Every structure is written in structure tokens, then in C-alpha cells.
Chain A
């Protein structure tokens, strides 16, 4: 049994690895920013919207204004069209069919022409135009009298940009719906760009690929940095390789355990949760150091009262915060509770049986100078009081994403030329397909500039409004007069004849149109001019699609619950603190207020986002452990060392995130680093009683 317990730590890791891979937990990991957003109707609608084809366009530009450039663009286009999931932008056949069958319901009546109609004069004019036209006169036999507003002549698919070159647009089909298919298109685009420097290719899908790559690269750098710091700590300072191996094994197991536990609670686990969660799991090293440096492993003792108090306070604070109604915080708190509890049990009950011997270290943290705790308390309260009026919050979730400057520049380049008037996409929803079509058509009446293929579909309303008797009379007159003027017999026989029935619309019959479905809600989008954006959002069936607008209310609500629950967590922490240190309560409190005071200085320079705030809470949970350890009755230099090593480990876990270019990770790293620095200051100025 004794021999067996030596390997128990590795056996646990092996078992967890088997569970992780057999359960396909890795498939639940998502790099999408939406995976951290609050669950609910808005998020589901956003997911449905992403399935619509709007974002699946591929923009291609070729530099050079000469004819050979156009030819090269066409060849490039042909090459891309050979890919099975890239298609040309065409009006769908169903739209063409409706346009022919229900022309008079789809197009708006030209009231002035309709009200002052002189059929004979109009037909004579047409006759004259046909004869004098230099080319062929484009005669509309369906609406020869121009009673309905017509679409303009189709634009060339190759947009000529003065002083640049040519641009064209292709469409990606429905099979392009997951990360692997995005990556294939992205790789192809990069390959083509490398073969010819005149080529530029862009799709908004490239953000998913590049941002994920950037996050992965960042995470790799951060993990390497963490490992270097941990290596220095264990091998160079502690000189205990066995301790390092067992600690890394335990932490890896704790992360796997937390991932498996989280996968039971959530369908999707954000990559941000994992990065942040892995960092949180390193807090547990603190438990190990205290046990190790106080000889618990060498003497095979199990429960360290201070460590138990520290762990309970941290877990308790996370438990309270898990009630914040924000997906990311819920994912993170569950991850943190699972990993910390796992590590605590292993460090407390298994490590004493691993035969780990304490080794002497040369590090000395003797007092060189000390500051009276009351001065630190006063300084902290003063700074907090002055900083509070400056605190501003930033709820734009997009600001937490990767700042992909290069791709944004390319995005802007195509946007400038393709959408000359600035446009934004909004979501339209209704409880049936027919209502959805009605709503899109209503919107088009008020905002004629909006675009959506559904606006080309006849509605019940337009069918009712059509004055069939009057148009039947016009048809008769046109045919009689046309014969007299000299037109071909029966040329206008189908003019102004309306189909007797409307088609039956359903979600299935309108496949090919941008319609999505979530429960009993049908959605589509309309592209609206920026001038109309504010007004269109006032319509009760229109929702914004920007993450900022869509989740603003959710984030504000989450922030309110975060504030309330943080206050509860703070009361809980204070209570635990009092229970642990009693009459040294205010000295221990410095370990909370001093880091907060230093962090609040940031309010003069930045707006606090949700991750800054959350990290502050994590820091407080951590600091309180140190407050307890540093103010207990048996304080020794070993406690100071244990805390110093813990802080180094915490920096390896959290602090290194300050080197990340991903705003979300940087926010965490910034707060963690300031917090760690402030705790080191407290540690060095805290007088050890003899």
C-alpha cells in the first residue's frame, strides 16, 4: 500500500485523462466570444443569425487599373469558384420566380404616373423611342406604362476602383459553418495572396481563424513563461525536483477535473474560462507551500488550520459569486471551485504520504524596515476614497476580444469601396414566416434604402391593396391601342394581369432566403443605412446585432448582481477573517485594502471592464489567505517564505497574462500584477514577531 501511494498522484492524472478523452470534453471548448455571454434569447438569436449567409461573403481585390488586372481577377475568381463551397453571388431562382409572377405586388406603384395616366400618349412615346433608340430599346411588356418603380440596371460584378484596381464578391455556401471549413477558406486565401502580391482576399470569417490563432499563440507564450518561472522557483530556489513533479501533476489533474466538472454544467466552455481557470488553479500552490515549509509533509501531518481557513474563504467567495447571472463568471467560479477543492484534498491528504523531504533554502526575507499597519490602512482608505469618483466602467464586450488591427484595416478597405454609404445590420423577428415577410416589407416602406431578399416577396397586405378591376381595364385598353399604333399583336397580353392566389409561405418553402428559426421565433436581418439605424431600433420587432448593444442590458444587469454578490462575498471574507485572527483584524484587513487602493489608481487611466472587477475579487480572496497566515499567533519566517513563493507561483499563473495582446487576458494580468506587487510590499514591511 505504501509503495502504491507513491504513484497514486500519477494514477489519478491518468484516470482523469482517460475520462477527458473518452467524454470528448475538448469538443466543448469554444474560442467564440459569444461562449462567455449570458445565456438567453439574445444569445440564441445571435447564434441563429450567424447561420444565415450574411457573413459568408468573400471579397477579392486585384491591384492595377489596366485590363490585364481585370483579367487576372477573373482568373482568380474562376480558381476560387472551382472550390465546392465557393459560389458566385446570384439572385436566387425563387426570387426571380416571384419577381416574374408577382411583379405588381413586389414593386411600388409610381403614384404620379398612375394618377395622370394617358395610355395612348404613353404607347406613342414608346413607339417613338423604339424607332429612335441607338441600340435596342428595352421594352417592359409586363409594365409598358411604367406604373411601377423599376429596379435599376444590374451593376457589373467587377467594381473598378480608381487608383487601385478591381474588386469582386463571391459567396460561401451553407457548408461553411464550422471552424475547420473557415480555416480551409482562410488557408486558401493566404496561399493565393502569397502567389501574387496584387491579391487581397477578405471575409469576416477570417476574424474567427486569426483571432483563435492569436489567442493560441498568446496562450502558448504565457504557458512557456509560467513554466520558466516555476522552473526557477522549484529547481533554482527550492532545489526540490520531486516536489515540482508532484505539484505539476496535481495542478494538471486539478485542471482536468475542473474541465470535466464544468462540462457537466455547460454545453460550451470558453477558452477564456480555461486560460483564466488554469491561472486560478495555481492559487492552490499556496496550500502546498504552507504545508511544505511548515514541515507538514516531512512530519506526515494532514490538516493545517490556517490553510483550511484560507481555502474555505476562497471557495466560499467563489461560491457566492457563482450566483452572478453571467455565463463567463458562472463557468469560471465552477471551474475554480472544482480545481481548488481537488488540489486542496491532494495537497492535504495525499502529499504527506509521498515522502517529500523539506530542503533548506538560502532565501532570506528578514525585516529591513517596517511600516506601522495603521499608516498603510490610512493611506489605503485615502486612496480608495479619492479614486472612487474616477471609476468608469466599460461594458463593451467587443473590447475584450483580440484587437486584430491588420484584419480590421483590410475589413475597412473593402467596406469603404463596397458599402459606400455606411450600413449596419439589424435583426428582425416575428412569430411566423408570414409576419416576418410583412414586417420586412413594412420596414422597406419606411426605410426605402434597406435591403433584404424578403422585401421582394409579395405579402397578403399588398395582395389586398391591389386594385385588380382598374388594372384589368388598363390591360384591355393597352392591347387595343397598341394594335392601332403598330405594335406586334398580343405583345402586351400579359401586362397588368395579377396571379389569382398568393403562394403559401413556410420555413421550408423559403429555403434559400435568409430566415432562421429559434423555438417559435423566425428571424432575418436587414441592412440599414447608418442614418436610419437609431430610428429602426425603435421598432418593436427589430434588435441590434452589435454585441455591445445586444448584451448591454444583460451586462448592466450582471454588473448589478456582481456588485451585490461582491458585497456579500466581502462580508463573508471579513467574517472569516475575524474568526481566524480576532484582535489583529484591522492588520489583516490591510491585505485587502492596500491591493485595492493600488489598483484603484488605475481609475485615473482606464475604464474598468468586467474582468478587471472579477480579478479584483479573486485577488481579495487570495489576499485574505495571506492576511490570515501573516496574522496568526504562530507567525514565523517560514510563513513569509511560503507566501513569497506562493506569490511567485501566482505571478507565474496570473501575472504573466500581462504580456498578452488579448485584451481580456491583459486585463486579468494587469490587476494580478499590481495586486502581487502590493502584497510583496506588505510582506516585506510586515514585522515578524519573535
Chain B
């Protein structure tokens, strides 16, 4: 009986899940170099899974914690322990659920036409300069993150 309920729940969660393929381009100032990689984001009701094609690591974000799973290893962090991933996933959820209040705690949000700009508060401003994104319907046109160390990440949804 339990197996049937579990199967039904699993099927339903898969039906309502959202799979996003994206391309990430990162300019690294310290190396004066640009790196590109392709990855997938899987967003369900209670978790977000991040995977890169070139890596065997999977990062799972839930309301309770952040897990980094690879073939031989599994690391579990609280949100406070993994600030970077926590912020990244909050951002992803804010963009895909259109709920900017998720990042309200740390950003001032402005909207100009379709472009949404997030300006970090004093606490994050030592690391981040600005975050900007634009959506075309449900699809993410681009997401640009500018860091104070002159690094820059651009993410575009593909397919």
C-alpha cells in the first residue's frame, strides 16, 4: 500500500516539476579568463537540484539544508554554512516562481520594463555589486551577476 502511495506521489511531483537547461559563462578576473559550462536545474515543490554536464556533483537544495552529492561523497550543509549556494538557489527560486520576496531580505529590487535589478544590502555589498535578469514569459532570457572582485557570471536558458 505504501509503495503505491509513494509511487503516486513521486509521479505527481515529477509531473509538476520544472526542468531548466542553461548555459553559464563565468569571467574570472583573477585568471583573466572566461569559462563556460552547461547545466540543468530541476525545480520541484520541495527541492531544487543542480547538475553540471562536466561534473559528477549534484547539489540538492531543500528548505532544511543543502546537499552536495558525488559518486563517492555526500556533504550536508545548513543554509548559513553555505551562503553562496543558499543565495544562488534563493535567486533561482525567486526568478522561476516570480516571487522576489524570497530575496527581499538582502536586496533592494527595482524593475525597469522587463529588466529586474537587485541591489545588495550593506551585508552583501562587500561581495556582490548587482544582479540583473530578464524573462521572456516563463523563460529566463539572461541572468547577470556582477561581483565586487570584478568577476561576472551570465546564465542563459537554452532549448
Task: State the A residues within 8 Å of B (CB).
Answer: 67-68, 70-71, 88, 90, 127, 130-139, 141, 153-158, 160, 486-488, 491
Contact = CB atoms under 8 A, between A and B. Distances in A.
A70 B105 contact: yes
Chain A interface mostly: loop
12 contacts: A67-B101, A127-B31, A134-B50, A134-B84, A135-B85, A136-B147, A137-B28, A137-B151, A139-B30, A139-B149, A156-B123, A488-B29
A135 B145 CA distance: 9
A690 B53 CA distance: 119
B48 interface: no
B126 A154 contact: yes
Nearest to A133: B84
A130 B30 contact: yes
Contacts of B101: 67-68
B28 A157 contact: no
B105 A158 contact: yes
A410 B66 CA distance: 36
Interface of B: 26, 28-33, 35, 50, 55, 59, 83-85, 87-88, 101-102, 104-106, 121-123, 126-127, 145, 147, 149, 151, 153
A67 B104 contact: yes
B68 to A, nearest CB: 9
B42 to A, nearest CB: 16
A70 B28 contact: no
A491 B30 contact: yes
A131 B35 contact: yes
Contacts of B84: 133-135
A679 to B, nearest CB: 67
A134 B59 CA distance: 10
Nearest to A89: B122
A90 B125 CA distance: 13
- 8 smallest A-B Cβ distances: which pairs? A136-B151, A67-B101, A136-B147, A135-B84, A488-B32, A156-B123, A139-B30, A67-B104
B149 A138 contact: yes
Contacts of B149: 136, 138-139
Contact of B121 (A68, A137, A157): A157
A68 B33 CA distance: 42
A70 B31 contact: no
B105 A135 contact: no
A68 B147 CA distance: 28
Nearest to A486: B31
Given A136-B147, A136-B149, A154-B126, A487 B30 contact: yes
B153 A154 contact: no
A137 B30 CA distance: 9
A160 B102 CA distance: 14
**Most B-side CB within 10 Å, residue of A90, A127, A137, A486:** A137
B123 A154 contact: yes
Nearest to A156: B123
A209 B151 CA distance: 51
A491 B151 CA distance: 14
A68 B104 CA distance: 9
B84 to A, nearest CB: 4
Contacts of B145: 135-136
Contacts of B35: 131
A268 to B, nearest CB: 41
Contacts of B104: 67, 70-71
B130 to A, nearest CB: 13
B85 A487 contact: no
A487 B59 CA distance: 28
B28 A130 contact: yes
A141 B35 CA distance: 21
Contact of A135 (B31, B88, B106): B88
